Chains A and B, each alone.
Chain A
Amino acid sequence: MVAREQFQVELSKLRGDIISLAHETEKLLEKSLEALYNQDIDMANDIISYDTKLDQKELKINEDAILLIARQQPVATDLRRLIIALRISSDLERMGDNAKNIAKSTIHLGEEHGLTIHPALTDMKNIALKMVDLSIKAFEYEDITLARKLSELDDLVDSMYGEIIREMLEETATNPQKIQHIMQMAFSARYIERFADHTTNIGESILYLVKGETLNLNE
């Protein structure tokens, strides 16, 4: 298999770039929750500026993938590898945006005292991080069994999100003066839920890569 060695080399470099972007997105979510819990405004600002770096990395991945399509004119699975590289990098970029939005909520909340952050956000975040990990392993090994597992975890995140929102609504009734705080909590929960959704998109991309058809993991 000497043929198209260069193409395979470039494809695997692209894969490496996507995996590293995924790890950075993971870190960003982790940090965004840390900043939220600690009400660390400096950290929140760092997260916001770091997110622009992720945006640039996404653009670079897109450029590389488009160049490979133009130069190598791949077909079948090779073509789908590049198509999903475009999709997955876009999902990762959006995941970074969700982490950034949590940082923005942190800034909105300010250094107010006496606030408690809903502990279930940490549980949601932990599952979301597990989902990134799973989706990126599924991507790395082109493993549809791993990809399919995302669906179950996403259901779990969705139900936790529903639970948090119910509690928040009740709290607005009892503590109307805390409305700003409660809203930012609810937004943050929503951002984590969206973050997790994007990992199911990555899973769907893997299914598309392997099966050549579009399947839904997020129903």
Chain B
Amino acid sequence: MTETITEHKTVFDVKDMNLWYGNTQALKNLNLEIPENQVTAIIGPSGCGKSTFIKTLNLMITRVPGVHMSGDILFNSQNILKDRIDLVNLRKQIGMIFQKGNPFPQSVYDNVAYGPRIHGVKKKKQLDEIVESSLKDVALWDEVKDRLNSSALGLSGGQQQRLCIARTIATKPRVVLMDEPTSALDPVSTLRIEQLISELKNQYTIVIVTHNMQQAARISDQTAFFLHGEIIESTDTGSLFSVPVDRRTEDYISGRFG
């Protein structure tokens, strides 16, 4: 089932993708198009394969021993499962945010400057600009501009997560993958991140895995419902949460299981 609702360009085109951990099949025949400058939410109960799926998009999953895959993932007209891919370059274009902010044990400034430095930006002035604009984009600048040289570990949980988003967008990726980015945050920090996601989608394509169905309903443009490694239904978020086609989707979003 491949469905795209908008006329947005397709960033990822996943076709007949399967994934096994050893002999156990974790993803089954997935087909999904991820549109540009949209928020795509991946929902489903624990163990449904949603985190595994998101990690296939930047090939992080290939580091897990025993993983093998079939099918295609087209990104930038390259088949990242079959073509020879420069992983550093791929991950420059596809950033990732995890459940908990995981800043490096360095200063706020160095955290954000880390990516651009690796990718060859050396001039202090240019780095300063990148750090400032990235921190402004995540609405953290006003809170940290006087403590750029303090340790990032001194920030609150919500600030750390926004710092990690700033670190990710400092390299100007095309896509930001988010694996339950607010599950460790309090409600106010969660709302700030959600607000941020809505703003960031103008510049980036966002794929978010979330356990929080209301969050998916609030912030995403399209939603894919995963169950037992399969995509049961993927469509625009409004339709999925108001008139889901598949009974299993209805049962899951209505809280009857999971």
Tell me the A residues contacting B by CB distance below 8 Å: 1, 3-4, 7, 73-79, 211-213
Specify which chain A residues have a CB less than 8 angstroms from the CB of B255 in the assembled complex. 3-4, 7
10 A-B pairs, CB-CB below 8 angstroms? A4-B254, A4-B256, A7-B255, A73-B214, A74-B254, A76-B243, A76-B244, A76-B254, A77-B254, A79-B242
Does any Cβ of A come within 8 Å of B253's Cβ?
A: yes
Contact call A78/B257, Cβ cutoff below 8 A: no
Separation of A179 and B192 alpha carbons in the complex (Å): 69
Q: How far is the CB of B205 from chain A (nearest CB, A)?
A: 25
Contact call B254/A212, Cβ cutoff below 8 A: no
Q: Which residue of B lies closest to A78 (CB)?
A: B254
Contact call A76/B250, Cβ cutoff below 8 A: yes
Contact call B257/A1, Cβ cutoff below 8 A: yes
Does any Cβ of A come within 8 Å of B98's Cβ?
A: no
A-side interface mostly: loop
Does any Cβ of A come within 8 Å of B114's Cβ?
A: no
Interface string of B217-252 (1 = CB under 8 A from A): 100000000000000000000000111100000100
Contact call B257/A75, Cβ cutoff below 8 A: no
Separation of A1 and B17 alpha carbons in the complex (Å): 31
Q: How far is the CB of A87 from chain B (nearest CB, A)?
A: 16
Separation of A3 and B214 alpha carbons in the complex (Å): 17
- Choice from A4, A77, A211 contacting B250 with Cβ under 8 Å: A77
Contact call A3/B253, Cβ cutoff below 8 A: no
Q: Which residue of B lies closest to A4 (CB)?
A: B255
Tell me the B residues contacting A by CB distance below 8 Å: 213-214, 217, 241-244, 250, 253-258
- Choice from B214, B241, B257, B258 contacting A76 with Cβ under 8 Å: B241
Q: How far is the CB of A75 from chain B (nearest CB, A)?
A: 5
Q: Which 8 pairs of residues, A with B, have the shortest CB-CB distance?
A: A212-B243, A4-B255, A75-B241, A78-B254, A75-B253, A3-B255, A76-B250, A1-B256
Specify which chain B residues have a CB less than 8 angstroms from the CB of A79 in the assembled complex. 242
- Choice from A3, A73, A213 contacting B257 with Cβ under 8 Å: A3
Specify which chain A residues have a CB less than 8 angstroms from the CB of B244 in the assembled complex. 76
Separation of A6 and B254 alpha carbons in the complex (Å): 13
Q: Please name 16 further chain A to chain B contacts, defined as beta carbons within 8 Å, in addition to the given A1-B256, A76-B242, sorted by A numbering.
A: A3-B255, A4-B256, A73-B214, A74-B254, A75-B213, A76-B241, A76-B243, A76-B244, A76-B250, A76-B253, A76-B254, A77-B250, A77-B254, A79-B242, A211-B243, A212-B242
Contact call B217/A75, Cβ cutoff below 8 A: yes
Q: Which residue of A lies closest to B240 (CB)?
A: A76
Specify which chain B residues have a CB less than 8 angstroms from the CB of A76 in the assembled complex. 241-244, 250, 253-254
Separation of A149 and B18 alpha carbons in the complex (Å): 49
Specify which chain B residues have a CB less than 8 angstroms from the CB of A77 in the assembled complex. 250, 254
Contact call B254/A75, Cβ cutoff below 8 A: yes
Specify which chain A residues have a CB less than 8 angstroms from the CB of B213 in the assembled complex. 75
Q: How far is the CB of A16 from chain B (nearest CB, A)?
A: 20
Specify which chain B residues have a CB less than 8 angstroms from the CB of A75 in the assembled complex. 213, 217, 241-242, 253-254
Specify which chain B residues have a CB less than 8 angstroms from the CB of A211 in the assembled complex. 243
Separation of A3 and B243 alpha carbons in the complex (Å): 21
Q: How far is the CB of B35 from chain A (nearest CB, A)?
A: 23
Q: How far is the CB of B17 from chain A (nearest CB, A)?
A: 28
Contact call B250/A3, Cβ cutoff below 8 A: no
Separation of A4 and B244 alpha carbons in the complex (Å): 19
Specify which chain B residues have a CB less than 8 angstroms from the CB of A7 in the assembled complex. 255
Q: How far is the CB of A141 from chain B (nearest CB, A)?
A: 18
Q: How far is the CB of B113 from chain A (nearest CB, A)?
A: 42
Specify which chain B residues have a CB less than 8 angstroms from the CB of A3 in the assembled complex. 255-258
Separation of A78 and B254 alpha carbons in the complex (Å): 7
Q: How far is the CB of A128 from chain B (nearest CB, A)?
A: 32
